[in-house]
Amino acid sequence: MVEQRNIKPAALTRLQEIANDPYGCLADLRKRKRIIGSTLADVPEELIHAAGLHPFLILGTNNPIRHSAALLPDNSCSLARSNLELVVGYQSAFFDGFVLSQVCDTTQHLGDIWKRKFPDHYFENFLTPRQVARPSARAWYAEECRRLRGALEQYAGRAITDAALRESFALYNENRALLRRLYAIKREAPALMTNREFFDAVKAGFFMDRGEHNELVQAVVQWAEQTKDHQASANGYFRVICVGIVVEPPALYDMIDEVKGTIVADNLCTASRYIFYDVETKGDPAEALADRHLRKPYFTPINEDVRRIYADLISLCRDNNGEAIFYVHIKYCESQDYDLPDIKAAMRTEGIPFLELETEYQTTHLAQLKTRLQAFCESLFTKGAQGGVR
Amino acid sequence: MTAASAKPSSKELSRVLTEGYLLDARTAHEHGKYVAYTTAVSPVELFVAHDVIPIYPENHAVACLTKRMGTELSLAMEKQGYTSHLCAYARSDLGYRITGKSAMGGIPDPDFLLACNAQCFTLTKWFEVLSRKYEVPLFVFDTPQWIREPGARKEIVKYCVAQLKELIAALEQLTGKKYDYDRLAQVMAYSQQASVLYRRFLDMAAYKPSPISIFDALIHMAITVYLRGTPQAVEYYQILCDEIQAKADQGVGVIADERFRLYWENLPVWFKFKDHFNLLKSYGANILTSLYVHAWSYEFDLAKDPLETLAENYCSRFSNVTLEERAEMALDLFRRYSMNGSIMFVNRSCKAVSFAVYTLKEIITETTGYPALIFESDMGDPRFYSEAQIKTRIEAFLETLQRRQAAGA
8 Å CB contact of A306 and B155: no
pLDDT digits (tens, 9 = 90+) for B350-395: 988 888 899 999 999 999 999 999 999 999 999 999 999 999 999 9
pLDDT digits (tens, 9 = 90+) for B57-114: 999 999 999 999 999 999 999 999 999 999 999 999 999 999 999 999 999 999 999 9
Number of neighbours of residue B135 by Cβ within 10 angstroms? 8
pLDDT digits (tens, 9 = 90+) for B185-209: 999 999 999 999 999 999 999 999 9
Does residue A332 lie in a domain region?
A: no
Rounded to whole angstroms, the Cα distance separating B199 from B196 reads 5
Cβ-Cβ contacts under 8 Å for A350 (sequence gap 6 or more): A314
Query: What is the separation of C-alpha B247 from the centre of its chain, rounded to a whole number of angstroms?
Result: 25
> How much is the pLDDT for A384?
53
Interface of B with A in 246-275 (CB under 8 A): none
> How much is the pLDDT for B273?
83
Q: What is the DSSP string of A144-171?
A: HHHHHHHHHHHHHTS---HHHHHHHHHH
Q: Which of B83, B86, B356 is the closest to A109 by Cβ?
A: B356
Number of neighbours of residue B165 by Cβ within 10 angstroms? 14
pLDDT > 90? residue A390: no
B150 to chain A: which residues are within 8 Å by CB? none
Cβ-Cβ contacts under 8 Å for A239 (sequence gap 6 or more): A261, A262, A264, A320, A321, A322, A323, A324
Is the CB of residue B145 less than 8 Å away from at least one CB of chain A? yes
B124 to chain A: which residues are within 8 Å by CB? 130
Q: Which of B90, B124, B356 is the closest to A112 by Cβ?
A: B356
8 Å CB contact of A116 and B142: no
Mean pLDDT in residue range A290-301? 89
Is the CB of residue A284 less than 8 Å away from at least one CB of chain B? no
Report phi then psi at A303, rounded to 5.
Answer: -150, 160
Cβ-Cβ contacts under 8 Å for B170 (sequence gap 6 or more): B112, B137, B139
> How much is the pLDDT for B303?
97
Identity of the residue numbered A93:
A
Does residue A273 lie in a domain region?
A: no
Is the CB of residue A305 less than 8 Å away from at least one CB of chain B? no
pLDDT > 70? residue B215: yes
Does residue A378 lie in a domain region?
A: no
Check: CB of residue B198 under 8 Å from CB of residue B221: yes
> How much is the pLDDT for A7?
87
What pLDDT band is residue B1 in, cutting at 50, 70 and 90? very low
Interface of B with A in 338-367 (CB under 8 A): 346, 348, 351-352, 354-356, 358-359
Is the CB of residue A131 less than 8 Å away from at least one CB of chain B? yes
pLDDT digits (tens, 9 = 90+) for A192-212: 999 999 999 999 999 999 999
Q: Which of B124, B159, B352 is the closest to A143 by Cβ?
A: B159
Is the CB of residue B315 less than 8 Å away from at least one CB of chain A? no
* Average pLDDT over chain A, rounded to an integer: 90
What pLDDT band is residue B2 in, cutting at 50, 70 and 90? very low
8 Å CB contact of B323 and A129: no
- A interface mutation test: which of B78, B79, B98, B125 has the most A CBs within 10 A? B125
> How much is the pLDDT for A386?
54
pLDDT > 50? residue A161: yes
8 Å CB contact of A71 and B121: no
* Average pLDDT over chain B, rounded to an integer: 94
Check: CB of residue A239 under 8 Å from CB of residue A262: yes
pLDDT > 80? residue A292: yes
Alpha helices in chain A (DSSP H): 10-20, 23-30, 45-50, 78-85, 105-117, 135-156, 162-188, 195-204, 210-227, 251-258, 272-275, 285-295, 308-319, 334-350, 366-382
Does residue A97 lie in a domain region?
A: yes
B140 to chain A: which residues are within 8 Å by CB? 130-131, 133
> How much is the pLDDT for B261?
97
In chain B, the percentage of residues whose pLDDT exceeds 90 is 93
pLDDT > 60? residue B4: no
Is the CB of residue A69 less than 8 Å away from at least one CB of chain B? no
Which residue on chain B is closest to A124 by alpha carbon? B147
A139 to chain B: which residues are within 8 Å by CB? 159, 162
What pLDDT band is residue A387 in, cutting at 50, 70 and 90? low
Is the CB of residue B131 less than 8 Å away from at least one CB of chain A? yes
Structural domains of chain B sorted by starting position, each given as residue range(s) with its CATH number in brackets: 10-406 (3.40.50.11900)
Number of domain units in chain A = 1
Interface of A with B in 198-237 (CB under 8 A): none
Pick from B387, B88, B388: nearest CA to B267: B88
Check: CB of residue A291 under 8 Å from CB of residue A224: no
> How much is the pLDDT for A1?
44
Mean pLDDT in residue range A73-102? 84
pLDDT digits (tens, 9 = 90+) for A4-19: 567 899 999 999 999 9
Rounded to the nearest angstrom, the minimum Cα separation between A108 and chain B is 8
Is the CB of residue A44 less than 8 Å away from at least one CB of chain B? no
Indicate the helix (H) or strand (E) that contains B160.
helix B150-175
Check: CB of residue A41 under 8 Å from CB of residue A51: no
pLDDT digits (tens, 9 = 90+) for A21-44: 888 888 888 889 999 999 887 899
B117 to chain A: which residues are within 8 Å by CB? 130
CATH number at residue A91: 3.40.50.11890
8 Å CB contact of A134 and B163: yes
> How much is the pLDDT for A2?
47
Mean pLDDT in residue range B138-156? 95
Range of weakest confidence among A229-243, A305-319, B269-283, B291-305: A229-243
A125 to chain B: which residues are within 8 Å by CB? 145, 147
Does residue A268 lie in a domain region?
A: no
**Count of CB pairs separated by less than 8 Å, A with B:** 130
- E-strand ranges in B211-272 read 260-265
> How much is the pLDDT for A102?
85
Domain that holds residue A111: 10-163
Pick from A180, A157, A177, A160: nearest CA to A168: A160
Rounded to the nearest angstrom, the minimum Cα separation between A27 and chain B is 31
Does residue A373 lie in a domain region?
A: no
pLDDT > 80? residue B409: no
B381 to chain A: which residues are within 8 Å by CB? none
Cβ-Cβ contacts under 8 Å for B188 (sequence gap 6 or more): B45, B229, B300, B302, B306, B309, B310
pLDDT > 60? residue B115: yes
8 Å CB contact of B359 and A143: no
Query: What is the separation of C-alpha A337 from the centre of its chain, rounded to a whole number of angstroms?
Result: 19
B131 to chain A: which residues are within 8 Å by CB? 306
Check: CB of residue A285 under 8 Å from CB of residue A165: yes
Check: CB of residue B38 under 8 Å from CB of residue B117: no
Mean pLDDT in residue range B238-261? 96
pLDDT > 90? residue A234: no
Report phi then psi at A132, rounded to 5.
Answer: -130, 20
Is the CB of residue A113 less than 8 Å away from at least one CB of chain B? yes
